[in-house]
Amino acid sequence: MSMVLGYGGVALLFVVIVVVLERTKRSGETFSQYATAARSFGPWFSMMAFVNTWYPGTMFISFAGLAAASGVIGFYFVPYSLLAVVLMYFLARPVHVWGREHDLRSQADLLGLRYSSTTVRVVAAIIGIVASFPWIVLGMQSLTLVFSYLSFGRVDASDAVYIGIAVIVLRQLWTVRMGARGLVISDMVQGLVAYVLGTLLLLGMVTWLLTNGHGFGRPEESFFTIPGPGSATGALYYFSLVLTGTLGGWCWPDIFVRLFASKGPETIKRAAVRAAPLMFVFGSAICLMAIAASTLPGVAEAPDAVFFLVADAIGPVAVTIAGVCVVAATMGNVGANLQALGAQTANDIVGVIRRRRIDSPRVGQVAVALFVLLSAIFAVSTARTSSGLVELAMISYAGISQLAPTLFLGIFWRRGNATAATVSMIGGFLTAAILQWQYPTSIPGLEGLTAGVVGLIVNLALYVACAYLVPTPEAERRRVDELFASVDAESPAGAGGPPSPSASPNLEPAL
């Protein structure tokens, strides 16, 4: 009976999402509408789309596990998430204005416009695709723990991994069909479950732990310190984690495309303001629960299972709610990754090869479908040997942050040119990837600096050097000045101006 409860909870979530998507389905989309949701969503939908993409299902597993095993250092994702929201606030106007005026569909598309370079566009697209793919596979595999616990001992972990992959792949049928619009709509449903219901569950877990002999007074003193001078990882290790998390977070294609789905700059700013408290409360609740549960039997041996171990101690209903929360969060993150990579492949690789803009959503749908198939095959083939994939995923995070100088300096500084962007992205990516492979935690002798930060230092130096040493033609300088002038001319009180020819107004659904 317990297994029926557990698996039935996931089935109910799935049915609700499908019903909502089918009731809000639209036909006759162009590729731009498919990739950007016609830039039609308001602040609440934009806020939840950002949160559901930013916080994946592994927040309940790996991130909770870090706090359960190591203490307050597990909080590191909370400040970098809030700093990322600040970046979202400042990115809103230039990204949306350029996106609307030039019908941009992806992060790579934006960089191609800023630097007037197909090379920059393709390099950025390839880095985004290569870095994101391991995380899609890990997202699929992360549901192993979920379906194992939801079976209440009836399904072994070796079999649960295939159930999790099957559920995620089946869910992507609607991602393929509906593109960004379907993702944003489903993000609202999934986000309410994962981060609102999930927060309530986490607070309930903390209360249960505090009233049942567990709490914040029992863990070791080391749980409440972060690495400092003389520590094994180095004094700058925590700083490195927060810096690469903040900058790298906005370099993921699935995160960045959320700006294009909003109605206008002010909508994005309101979404950022609304996202911050939810992200702070949810993230803090996970860490507090994990630290309080660190003395629970079994947690020390399997810290990644802390969320389900606490739920299991409370009862079957708590386990079911916990499983549904993780599934909801994972659906949002994996779906966003797949849609963003499919759209970026179609727009910034296929489109460049064909030397024309992609107009039909069919190319995007095929690309998304191929990524679903490839990731499913890879997830199944590595289901029992994912340790190497975890290392590859960590390398990819150090690598994706190398888009940051090209992205942020390109948006806020007029001096950078295509040579600076190309050389810095490639140089920084190779530096970070090689060092991350050699030194997975931090680099000896550099006081805790990680491979990602060293890569960023090399990256930034290359960018600035090329920006000053490589001449920029006068015509290119004028073009960049016009781009920045279009942002300056945008009214702060406006909602983003009239929609682009490819957009359709008033498309936000009433749920």
Q: How many helices (H) and strands (E) does the chain have?
A: 23, 0
User: What is the C-alpha separation between 96 and 486, in angstroms, rounded?
Assistant: 11
User: What is the C-alpha separation between 345 and 57, in angstroms, rounded?
Assistant: 25
Look at residue 385 and tell me whether its pLDDT is greater than 60.
no
Look at residue 141 and tell me whether its pLDDT is greater than 80.
no
In the block, residue with structure tokens 């993150």: 333
446-491 pLDDT per residue, tens: 888 989 999 999 999 999 999 999 999 999 999 999 999 998 887 5
The verdict on residue 430 lying in a domain is: no
The verdict on residue 505 lying in a domain is: no
| Number of independent structural domains in the chain | 1
The radius of gyration computed from the CA coordinates of the chain, to the nearest angstrom, equals 22
* 79's tokens: 């400040």
The verdict on residue 237 lying in a domain is: yes
* 361 in Cβ contact with 30 (< 8 Å): yes
The verdict on residue 70 lying in a domain is: yes
Share of the chain above pLDDT 90, in %: 36
Which residues, 6+ apart, have CB-to-CB distance to 33 below 8 Å?
A: 179, 181, 361, 502, 503, 504
Task: Look at 100 and 225; give whichever has higher pLDDT.
Answer: 100
Please name the amino acid found at residue 85.
V
Helix axes 316-345, 157-191, angle to 10 degrees: 80
pLDDT bracket for residue 493 (50, 70, 90)? very low
* 103 in Cβ contact with 347 (< 8 Å): no
pLDDT bracket for residue 384 (50, 70, 90)? low
DSSP secondary structure string for all residues of 143-205: HHHHHHHHTTTSS-HHHHHHHHHHHHHHHHHHHHHHHHHHHHHHHHHHHIIIIIIHHHHHHHH
* 343 in Cβ contact with 105 (< 8 Å): yes
Please name the amino acid found at residue 182.
G
* 234's tokens: 């180095």
Show the DSSP H helices in 212-315 as ranges.
Answer: 237-249, 253-256, 265-292, 306-314
User: What is the C-alpha separation between 154 and 2, in angstroms, rounded?
Assistant: 10
The verdict on residue 479 lying in a domain is: no
pLDDT of residue 495: 42
Among residues 276, 268, 271, 274, the alpha carbon closest in space to that of 495 is found at 268
pLDDT of residue 510: 31
3-state secondary structure of 357: coil
* 218's tokens: 């029992």
The verdict on residue 396 lying in a domain is: no
pLDDT bracket for residue 503 (50, 70, 90)? very low
Phi, psi of 10 (to 5 degrees): -65, -40
- Domain of residue 70 covers 2-386
In the block, residue with structure tokens 């390398």: 395
**Cα torsion for 135, 136, 137, 140, to the nearest 10°?**
120
The verdict on residue 491 lying in a domain is: no
Number of CB atoms found within 10 A of residue 69's CB: 18
Look at residue 230 and tell me whether its pLDDT is greater than 90.
no
* 149 in Cβ contact with 174 (< 8 Å): no
In the block, residue with structure tokens 């947690």: 299
pLDDT of residue 402: 92
Which residues, 6+ apart, have CB-to-CB distance to 356 below 8 Å?
A: none
The verdict on residue 422 lying in a domain is: no
* 133 in Cβ contact with 341 (< 8 Å): yes
pLDDT of residue 392: 60
Which residues, 6+ apart, have CB-to-CB distance to 163 below 8 Å?
A: 143, 147, 155
* 255 in Cβ contact with 96 (< 8 Å): no
pLDDT of residue 209: 94
DSSP secondary structure string for all residues of 426-491: HHHHHHHHHHHHH-SS--TTTTT--HHHHHHHHHHHHHHHHHHHS---HHHHHHHHHHHHHHHTS-
* 118 in Cβ contact with 355 (< 8 Å): no
User: 37 to each of 21, 45, 309, 339, 370, how far by Cα in Å?
Assistant: 13, 12, 39, 11, 21
Average per-residue pLDDT in the chain? Answer: 85
Residue 82: give its domain's CATH number: 1.10.4160.10
Helix axes 143-150, 306-314, angle to 10 degrees: 20
DSSP secondary structure string for all residues of 54-94: HS-GGGGTHHHHHHHHH-GGGGGHHHHHHHHHHHHHHHHHH
Which residues, 6+ apart, have CB-to-CB distance to 177 below 8 Å?
A: 25, 365
Share of the chain above pLDDT 70, in %: 93
Report DSSP state, residue 350.
I
Helix axes 107-115, 418-438, angle to 10 degrees: 140
